[in-house]
Amino acid sequence: MVPVVNPVDSETELRVVPAGAQDAPSVDADGEPLRRIEGVEVLRLAPHVDHRGSLTEVVNLGHPFWEEDVVYAYCITIRPGRIKGWGMHKRQSDRYFLVSGSVRIVLHDGRDESPTKGSFEIHNLTREAPGLLLIPAGVWHASQNWGADDAILMNFPTRPYDPADPDKYRIDPHSGEIPFDWGLPDG
């Protein structure tokens, strides 16, 4: 209900103002999505902060998140306002950690056999809420830097890069082949 001033007698009355359709619940009480793309995992990390700065443990091989070996690691830089993607791997999964900046990672399940085929999932990664994101093989993903500075992602894929047979497939993020509205132009 919205308070409205009656212009004739200046009394305040309450009346219901149509406010559109209410959102359906999308997260639980802990902020985790109610429905996640099949195979996607998020591991929240707890930074240890003191007056000197912080320490965040990224790789703990004893944790189930790291069930598949770390075989390769590399950094990705994304300029402010830019989009990298869509990309997909048929054989490898990606494990992303945000090193610096602010990034929106959009996932799209294009796997024919998946129970979540056609679903989208959005993850906003920031340094203030560190975490790891597991993107399974066959899931399209694109990253958009929505911060003012370069963003740096670290990837720990489950397979090493093979220059003779690259496991990377691409779709232009503005082609419309994956129906997602980025909202902002790509730089």
Instruction: Say if residue 58's pLDDT is above 90.
Output: yes
Q: For residue 29, what are the contacts with CB-CB under 8 A and spacing of at least 6?
A: none
- Total count of domains within the chain: 1
More confident residue, 149 or 32: 149
Does residue 25 lie within any of the structural domains? no
Write out the residue range of the structural domain in which residue 85 sits. Answer: 35-159
Name the strand (E) or helix (H) holding 135. Answer: strand 131-135
Contact 114, 122 (CB under 8 A): no
pLDDT in tens, 124-146: 999 888 899 999 999 999 999 99
What is the number of alpha carbons within 13 Å of residue 63 lying toward its C-beta? 13
CATH at residue 55: 2.60.120.10
Instruction: Say if residue 5's pLDDT is above 80.
Output: no
* Across 8-22, 30-44, 50-64, 92-106, least confident range: 8-22
Does residue 181 lie within any of the structural domains? no
In angstroms, the CA 142 to CA 104 distance is 8
DSSP 38: T
Does residue 74 lie within any of the structural domains? yes
- Over residues 39-56, the mean pLDDT reads 94
Does residue 171 lie within any of the structural domains? no
Residue 65 sits at φ, ψ, to 5 deg, of -55, -30
Does residue 78 lie within any of the structural domains? yes
Does residue 116 lie within any of the structural domains? yes
Distance of CA 81 to the CA centre of its chain: 15
Instruction: Say if residue 82's pLDDT is above 80.
Output: yes
Does residue 127 lie within any of the structural domains? yes
pLDDT in tens, 7-46: 444 455 555 556 677 776 667 777 666 678 999 999 999 9
- pTM exceeds cut of 0.85: no
- Over residues 114-120, the mean pLDDT reads 95
Name the strand (E) or helix (H) holding 84. Answer: strand 83-88
DSSP 64: G
pLDDT band at 3 (very low <50, low <70, confident <90, very high): very low
Does residue 76 lie within any of the structural domains? yes
